[in-house]
Amino acid sequence: MSAEPLTLESVAGQAPGCRILRLTGPLTLSSLFDFQTTLRADPPPTLILDLTAVPYMDSAGMGAIINYFVSCQRGGKKLIVAGVNGRVMELFKMTKVDALLTMKGTVAEAELAV
């Protein structure tokens, strides 16, 4: 597998205190550090993690999401994961992460849940 780049775009959500972090590309060990740096920089009260354009993820990527989820729980913040494709959802189901995270089909649905 070639090292496809991961791009991150942070935009304001419709609700006050809500940010949307759009990921484009695979979330893997090779792209993990930029992702973690972005998550740690000024975390919003609510973050919608848009995985619509993430074709696949490895265990390191999933671990980073779980670590952020735990950090949100400790800090009274909220994480919503949106737009998970079938391949990534299988990883979440296999590891039972889907039972932990608040997940929505689209960013629009996630914004309604804020």
State the pLDDT confidence band at 84, using cuts at 50, 70 and 90. Answer: very high
Q: Residue 107 is encoded by which pair of tokens? A: 């960013």
Q: Give the model confidence (pLDDT) of 33-83 as tens digits.
A: 999 999 999 899 999 999 999 999 999 999 999 999 999 999 999 999 999
Which percentage of the chain shows pLDDT scores above 90? 94
What confidence score (pLDDT) does residue 1 get? Answer: 47
Give the pair of three-digit tokens for residue 99.
């039972």
pTM for the model stands at: 0.94
Residue 97's alpha-carbon distances to 12, 52, 66, 91, 106, in angstroms, are: 26, 17, 8, 8, 18
Give the Cα separation of 61 and 46 in Å (integer).
20
Q: Per CATH, is 9-26+44-112 categorized as 3.30.750.24?
A: yes
* Nearest residue to 49 via CA among 92, 94, 90: 92
Q: What is the pLDDT of residue 3?
A: 66
C-alpha to C-alpha distance for 17 and 47, rounded to whole angstroms = 9
